Amino acid sequence: MQSYFTFFRSFLVVIFLFVSFSLYAGIIRGKVTDSKTGEPLVGAVVVLEGQGHTWHAIVQLDGSYSFKNIPAGSYSLKTTIVEYAEAPVINTELKETSEQKIVNFSMEAKTADLASVNIATSGKSSDAGVRGLEKNASTLQNILSEKTIQLLPDVTVANALQRVSGVAIQRSTSGEGRYAIIRGMDERYNNTLVNGVKIPSPDSKYRYVPMDLFPSEMLERLEVIKSLIPSMEADAVGGTMNLVMKNAPLRMLFSANASMGLSTLFSSSRPFSAFDHGAVNPRSPAEINGNSYMATQADFSRGNLNLNSKNLPLNTTAGLTIGDRWIHKKLGAILSLSYQNIFRGSNSDFLVPNAQPQVVNNKDNQFVISDLYTRHYSTQTVRFGLHNKIDYTLAPGHTISLYNMFVQMNEFQARSTYDSVYLNKLSDNFTRSRLQKQSIYSSTLQGDHKILDQFHINWIGVYANAKSKVPDMAEYDYQSATTPGKYIVQKMSRIWQANTDRDLAGYLNLVFTPHLSSLKPELSLGGMYRHKTRNNYYNDYSLSPTLTGGLPQTWTDINSAQYQFSPASLGTGDVTTTNPNTYTSYENVSAGYLQFKFMGNADLQVLGGARVEHTLQGFNTVMPKSYTGRSGTVSYTDMLPSLNLKYALTDKQNLRASYFRSIVRPDFYEIIPTQVVGELFDIKGNDSLKHSIADNFDLRYEFFPSGADQFLIGAFYKIIQNPIEYAVVRNGGPSAQFLMPENFGNAHNYGIEAVITKYKGMFGISANYTYTKSRITTTKQYFYRDPVLGITSKIVQQTRPMQGQADHIGNLSLLYKNPKIGLDMQLAFVYTGKRLSQVSPYYSLDYYQLGQGILDFSFEKRIGHRFSVYGKLNNLTNAPSKTVIFQAPDPGSKFPDQQYATRTVVGKDIYQLTILTGLRFKL
């Protein structure tokens, strides 16, 4: 931490040195802005002529330009910008060298003839442009613009999300961001839209979408909407993430970029481990030969378990965007392609707690460690994204557009685990290879029709399909024998898993805007219907080593190890696939809403109404008739009112208040009484699970001084009825202990949020901070010594924060933007405070991830007119991620890094610095 502050301090000193220059005398300066939006026209050239000289100045980030050291005399100023009407030449005079003259240009956009084409372009892609969107929006939003995203050190949407106020990210095992936690509400409580339309998730268990599927360069802007209105889908409590993809441009657009990089984690001593992707059998023996086929070891390839080393694999990314507009600008199209091939990894130490706490030395409920896992992850992620939009203006007021998006992420992961059975000197060596293919295809056809002057219809038809496949996840193990240096073959597991999630949806919105000048009313009425079908397949084989004669088999290598099913019948698909993880389910959501918007007076905008959503979920498993819960349906209807008030204190300041009611639906598998293997504990579905209902209150003050500057401060309060949380359930045998999603009374979540962005000349500072506090009470198991029963346990209540919620999260970015030489730089620091990362079934033994600050740096430098070089450096300080349990460490603990007196460090992950540099071409 110390090092960050030192760094920032020197950075700030540099900023102030630069800032002092602007105080010089003999100056002509001013701003160049869009006459309508007030957006600064960054990069425009202002020409100053007079006294036999010509000077040029470039408009900077805050819209300002300046000429310094100008001798007294008469001057003329002009500026021209493509797409803007030529502004008249302005004459001015400097009477003495100490005088400062301010000359502002307000430029008229040449879009009059395009007004009927309902397309907005440059405005919404820039930083200042999105400020206008935030200011004018009816809801509470935070937006990242295309230009901001381009300059961010991040290449995926998930990582970019952490820069948004109030958002923290949940990382995958390789350190890559995956899910967003918005205002302390974990991924379950948020939804994801693409261009305002819900997309299905390829996740095998959950309905929320892994945000690392999306390359961030495909976006025009990223909106995080924190208050809902009746016309929006109501299943978000933390917020809605709306990915607005690039639109067809007004004129020919061609841009391309390519980059290379590496992760400094990998070296000859810690190489990247790769496996033969071709050896992964896409189909299980049961899929190939039928469920009655009795598989043997010969049916399972070994090639995908032979790892080979790459010392320093190179990351590559490439992107291409082409767009244009034809037929008097009526037909527009854009095609964007993005490719990323990234090798990442992590070194992870993890203490595995024993399945239940113990009474040790007369201390109750002590967690004891059974294993120490030292894991090396090597993950190659290949992302491919394609999106395409075609819009056509049929007639003035009538446009139709077709949007297609395809994103794919193939993840090849090798994991080696050295498992030293704690204290026993016994070690296991696990090797796992896993390939996951995930994709989302979404196609929407959209129409916008202005029927009468006051009447507007908008419709959307959606087909979307999300898929995931994990074919042949294979893991084997060998264990140290009593004779040092010798090993014994252990079990091998092979799992095939696949799921698809398909949506067919239709949306219809009718908007009526009667001409009542003072009230400016807008009445909307609409609805949607979505039919979703989901299929899951799960096939799990467990092979055990063949005995050599009557003794355990000595290990040589994976190719010579001999395995069998015992008994042999366990190799048949009838046993391995017949599990409640294999199911089909569907969900029909129909919704209707009535929404009104009007001006209460000149300064007060009122938006409100109600939405009704009806949900019907059904599932069907492959289980026999004797199985309770083999199929079922559940349905519910919710009435969801909302009210948003926006009061304009001045034209640059708003005061907002909002209330909305929203819901969270259980995930598909959560209502199916299945048992799935979890990371730490098995998880079983709960057929009596109810959906959650949340009442959300928001208050926010906003100030948009000029340009991209902003200051926001707000507070929120949420009451969540029937929140879904995992808690311990124990029935049956000793291993029949699992976590089950359950409803627990009411949860409360409140906090404050502040955002400040300030540009001064070439420098900018952007910061946000969110304080969140949530509370929920759930059941836990507590072990103690009873005078009669001996060691036993009881169920107790415990109040704790909601999973994923950090009390403090914040961002601080320092920006440098020099349009003259075309250099942009950004130093970005993101801090996520201590948060509950995994709920334990046991009292006070939850896992907390300690606060973590990550420092990233990025730059982009223009070279000539068309090219620029850019670079992104992530995790400059190699910040480790640490997980603790709040219990004093065992004095005999051999785990490193036990620097705390009252908590035990049970997990530590190291990712190291990653570097990416590239070249961008733009026509």
Partner 1 sequence: MRMYRIALVSTILIASCKKWSTEKLNLATADVPVATPISDAAPLCGSIKGTMLAGKTYIVGCDVTINAGDTLTIQPGVHINVKNKAGIFVKGSLVSLGTKAQQVFITVDSLRALKNDAPNQDPSHDPAFSGGWAGLYCASTCPMLILKWTHVEYGGSGLSIAQGSIVNQSSGTAFSILFQNPNGIYVMEDSWLYGGVDDPIRISNGKICIMRCTFEKAGIKGGDCLNTKGGTVGDMAYNLFVGIATNGQKASNKGQPVGASQTNIRMWNNTFISCGWRQIQTGRGANINFEEGAKGMAYNNLMVNCKFGLRIVNNPPADTANIRYGNNYEYADSLITANQIYPTNAGLSGGWTIPQETDIPNYHSFLPAGYHFGDTYDGTPVLKANNPLFYNFPLPVPNQVPLYGIQAVNNYDFRLQPGSPAIGKGYTGFTPLAVVPISPTFGVTEITLPGSDIGAFQLNGTGNQHY
| Interface segment toward partner 1; rule CB under 8 A; list 487-495, 693-701, 846-854, 901-909 | 487-495
**Between 542 and 653, CB nearer to partner 1:** 542
Which amino acid is residue 421, in one-letter code? V
Minimum CB separation of residue 632 from partner 1 in Å reads: 15
Q: Does 807 bind partner 1 (CB under 8 A)?
A: no
Of 594-623, which residues contact partner 1 (CB under 8 A)?
623
**Between 17 and 789, CB nearer to partner 1:** 789
Is the CB of residue 277 less than 8 Å from the CB of residue 329?
Answer: no
Minimum CB separation of residue 350 from partner 1 in Å reads: 17
Order across the sheet with 53-58: list the strands. 53-58, 45-50, 73-80, 90-94
Among 795, 632, 647, residue whose Cα is nearest residue 729: 795
**Between 199 and 683, CB nearer to partner 1:** 683
CA 312 – CA 484 distance, rounded (Å): 33
| Interface segment toward partner 1; rule CB under 8 A; list 76-84, 113-121, 252-260, 791-799 | 791-799
CA 574 – CA 572 distance, rounded (Å): 5
Q: Does 566 bind partner 1 (CB under 8 A)?
A: yes
Site residue total, partner 1 (CB under 8 A):
66
Q: Measure Cα distances from 314 to 145, 213, 344, 450, 917 in Å.
A: 29, 20, 10, 52, 11
Q: Does 894 bind partner 1 (CB under 8 A)?
A: no
Q: Does 297 bind partner 1 (CB under 8 A)?
A: no
Q: Does 869 bind partner 1 (CB under 8 A)?
A: no
- Which residue from 649, 795, 863, 923 is in contact with partner 1, where contact means CB under 8 A? 795
Q: Does 648 bind partner 1 (CB under 8 A)?
A: no
Among 163, 118, 150, 140, residue whose Cα is nearest residue 217: 150
Among 760, 765, 824, 821, residue whose Cα is nearest residue 20: 760
Minimum CB separation of residue 793 from partner 1 in Å reads: 5
Structure letter (DSSP) for residue 18:
H
**Between 255 and 370, CB nearer to partner 1:** 370
CA 354 – CA 424 distance, rounded (Å): 14
Q: Does 792 bind partner 1 (CB under 8 A)?
A: yes
- Which residue from 88, 278, 485, 790 is in contact with partner 1, where contact means CB under 8 A? 790
Minimum CB separation of residue 191 from partner 1 in Å reads: 34
Minimum CB separation of residue 429 from partner 1 in Å reads: 12
E runs forming strands in 761-789 = 763-786
Among 600, 599, 697, residue whose Cα is nearest residue 641: 697
**Between 36 and 794, CB nearer to partner 1:** 794
Q: Does 546 bind partner 1 (CB under 8 A)?
A: yes
Of 322-381, which residues contact partner 1 (CB under 8 A)?
354-356, 358-360, 368-370
Q: Does 568 bind partner 1 (CB under 8 A)?
A: yes
Q: Does 789 bind partner 1 (CB under 8 A)?
A: yes
- What contacts 777, CB < 8 A, 6 or more positions away? 744, 745, 797, 798, 799, 800
Among 317, 319, 316, 195, residue whose Cα is nearest residue 254: 319
Q: Does 549 bind partner 1 (CB under 8 A)?
A: yes
- Which residue from 423, 610, 680, 879 is in contact with partner 1, where contact means CB under 8 A? 423
- Which residue from 553, 813, 858, 875 is in contact with partner 1, where contact means CB under 8 A? 553
Q: What is the three-state SS of 750-766?
A: EEEEEEEEEEECCEEEE
Which amino acid is residue 765, in one-letter code? I
Among 255, 171, 172, residue whose Cα is nearest residue 217: 255
Q: Does 683 bind partner 1 (CB under 8 A)?
A: no
**Between 489 and 672, CB nearer to partner 1:** 489
- Which residue from 19, 102, 451, 547 is in contact with partner 1, where contact means CB under 8 A? 547
Q: If you compute the radius of gyration of the chain from its CA atoms, what whole number of angstroms results?
A: 30
- Which residue from 296, 429, 564, 917 is in contact with partner 1, where contact means CB under 8 A? 564
Of 724-753, which residues contact partner 1 (CB under 8 A)?
730-737
Minimum CB separation of residue 547 from partner 1 in Å reads: 5
- Which residue from 442, 480, 772, 881 is in contact with partner 1, where contact means CB under 8 A? 480
Which amino acid is residue 118, in one-letter code? N
Burial of 318 (0-12, 13-18, 19+ CB in 10 A): middle
Minimum CB separation of residue 732 from partner 1 in Å reads: 4
Which amino acid is residue 893, in one-letter code? S
Minimum CB separation of residue 890 from partner 1 in Å reads: 11
The tokens for 373 are 């896992």
Q: Measure Cα distances from 435 to 271, 278, 378, 417, 438 in Å.
A: 19, 11, 12, 17, 10
Q: Does 569 bind partner 1 (CB under 8 A)?
A: yes
Residues that bind partner 1 (CB under 8 A): 354-356, 358-360, 368-370, 421-426, 479-482, 488-490, 542, 544-547, 549-553, 564, 566-570, 574-576, 578-580, 623-624, 626-628, 675, 730-737, 781, 789-795
